[in-house]
Amino acid sequence: MKLLLDPKIQHQQQVYARTKKEKRTKSRCCESNKVYEVDVPYTETVSYYEIDLQLTCQGIQQKIDLQVQNNIELLERVIEKQISEDFQKGEKQINNYIDRFQAEFDYLLKERATREVEAPNIIAHLESQRIELSEYLNELELIEEKLNNWKPVTSGK
């Protein structure tokens, strides 16, 4: 982050009127030159910089506030995106679970329907087997009775 302080720094110049003493000589023809001092006016310019620390502090604070706001907005977008992705994953997992449950439920309903349809056929088949078994038992009882009544014929020798 580059903070420009230049606009907050004011260049100041102040001009001072001053005098200085200069030595001058006055020529005289026969006599020796006379040296004397004269006050010569001149201007002196003094430059200095004035920095308003309050303005500088406010500028820095504004930059910090702007960065904080930008970071908050970025963080909110990242969080919203992550929440959205998490909800999509959760929704997908729930839908997969519901689909598996529905498939298992449909399979059980089909099995039950198949058994209900087959039940009368199975009962009819078992009934016919019972009747046939009864007939065999009756025949067996007749054979047993005949065997019990059967006596070997012994020859009279």
Domain ranges for the chain: 9-51, 63-146
Q: What is the pLDDT of residue 146?
A: 86
| Token pair listed for 146 | 């005949």
Residues of the chain with pLDDT under 70: 1-13, 28, 48, 152-157
| Token pair listed for 122 | 């199975």
Q: What is the pLDDT of residue 35?
A: 80
Is the CB of residue 55 less than 8 Å from the CB of residue 6?
no
DSSP string, 76-99: HHHHHHHHHHHHHHHHHHHHHHHH
How confident is the model over 115-145, as pLDDT tens digits?
Answer: 888 888 888 999 999 999 999 999 999 988 8
Rounded to two decimals, the pTM is 0.40
Is the CB of residue 18 less than 8 Å from the CB of residue 42?
yes
Cα(83)–Cα(24) distance, rounded to whole angstroms? 91
- Rg of the chain's alpha carbons, rounded to an integer? 62
Q: What is the pLDDT of residue 2?
A: 46
CA 99 vs CA 14, 94, 109: distances in Å:
86, 9, 15
